[in-house]
Amino acid sequence: MTDPAAPETTQTETAWTIAKPTALLVLADGTVLEGKGFGASGAVEAEVCFNTAITGYQEILTDPSYTGQIVTFTFPHIGNIGTNDEDLEDLNPARRAGAVGAIFKADITEPSNYRASEHLDAWLKARGIVALSGIDTRALTAHIREHGVPNAVLAHEPSGQFDIDALKARAKAWGGLVGLDLAKEVTSGQSSTWEETPWEWDKGYGSYSVGDGDMHIVALDYGVKRNILRLLAGLGTKVTVLPATATAEDVLALKPDGIFLSNGPGDPAATGEYAVPTIKDLLDTGIPVFGICLGHQMLALALGAKTVKMHQGHHGANHPVKDHTTGKVEIVSMNHGFAVDSGSLPAGVTETHISLFDGSNCGLAVDGKPVFSVQHHPEASPGPQDSHYLFKRFLNLIREKRGEEALAER
């Protein structure tokens, strides 16, 4: 794979003359891509994926599910709306959960948005994210599609001095995400109550008064996104967030009406070593359960299914998913590199959603029980809102158990 463009280049009649690069992407197979460095200096090893969304780069980079990954943005212009203090998806910014690296085609432009408070480059530096621009991101995306997500090292050195052999050795030696439990690195450290509600035009994020409702959701935080909690609170529920390592006894002591299993990074089988026994105990209680992404995968493991590492994963805001329960096709937001093996779903568990890109599993429900989950992100931050109704579906399972009238899902 070659890259005809690099930072500070000049074009002659026959070729590109490449100036000294200040950032390198070194793949485990020895491929070296040269570009211009942004963000934090230094080097990080991670898995390289690509995201096809055309907006929401700040939410993407702070999504805890991207921990241990370098995000290649296929949309060429990243940074033109700057950054702000509101559009973060990680629950605890001090832990800097989310992507460790970012790759752009074009240089970061000056921000042009009334909500911008900081340039993307300065924000990347503050968060410790290494970034590179000036490569052919389409060529890198094609490489990933053909060969699978590679392990790599992304290095930024303003002087342009690199030990390429050492970087190649480092990329080759990194073991990848299989077997890694990353939820413990990004989860909340303690129990907390969530009170922020969804963003409204020209009003910002609202605040929910805990005393306003009588429905209590306990969310197990494996790397939960803020917008998930906002949508639950926005429906009038009290939301308590517990760490990934919380036990069933910890959850039940709060007397929840519903239990939410969150998204998160890493290998579900690794996190499942301690999470699956807890989930199994919670399933025995009959309390309604809803899982998203990693929560979906670990629910499947608790039910006896298996998970697999995907060739390239699903990352973007334009993925078609069919909901077998309604017969409708929805465009959804996706971010996952592992998936539930649909062939391993046991009797009594129904596949409810599938990806129309590759037929992979995107949802399940337990027959006759108030338990379901989806692989995609119905909170969609960023992304379309086609699947927002799933949060009402969860609340309706609780309302049904309590003998209350159901909410209209749409």
Question: Which residues are identified as catalytic?
Answer: 293, 377, 379
Distance CA 61, CA 78 (A): 12
- Output the six-digit token pair for 122: 């300065």
Distances (CA, A) of 210 to 148, 196, 207: 46, 10, 9
Measure the CA angle with vertex 197, ends 375 and 268; round to 5°: 25
Distance CA 354, CA 283 (A): 24
- Output the six-digit token pair for 60: 């993407």
Measure the CA angle with vertex 388, ends 282 and 335; round to 5°: 75
Q: Name the nearest CA neighbour of 182 among 70, 259, 267, 286.
A: 267
CB atoms within 10 A of CB 348: 11
- Output the six-digit token pair for 346: 């046991």
Pairing verdict, β 307-323 and 215-221: unpaired
Task: Give me the residue label for tokens 């390592």.
Answer: 245
Q: Are 351 and 308 in contact (CB under 8 A)?
A: no
Q: Is 296 helix (H, G, I), strand (E, B) or coil?
A: helix
Distance CA 68, CA 46 (A): 5
Q: Name the nearest CA neighbour of 329 among 357, 365, 291.
A: 357
Q: Name the nearest CA neighbour of 279 among 255, 293, 253, 297.
A: 297
